[in-house]
Amino acid sequence: MRRSFYHYLMTLRGPDRQNAEMNFANDVSHDIQFPKQSEDYEELSSYLEISVDYLSSMDVFDKTWEKYLENNQL
């Protein structure tokens, strides 16, 4: 079953801010505007570049996206 990027991110959340991916996931969980159903790189990338200030580097998104693709293969 395919899942959205948001759903994948929610599996990375944690109580501590141990790494950049966990920080990203925790921040997204509080972002009510995040495109929760999206599986589209361009849509998500554009949203993050234009609409948020909690992501210090798009490298975090890119690395997390690659792991999402690996994890979300059918």
Confidence class for position 18, pLDDT limits 50, 70, 90: confident
Contact 28, 34 (CB under 8 A): yes
Q: Alpha-carbon dihedral of residues 35, 4, 73, 18, nearest 10 degrees?
A: 90
Domains along the chain with CATH numbers: 5-71 (1.10.150.260)
**Percentage of the residues of the chain whose pLDDT score is greater than 70:** 96
Contact 64, 10 (CB under 8 A): no
Residue 1's pLDDT is 57
Contact 25, 46 (CB under 8 A): no
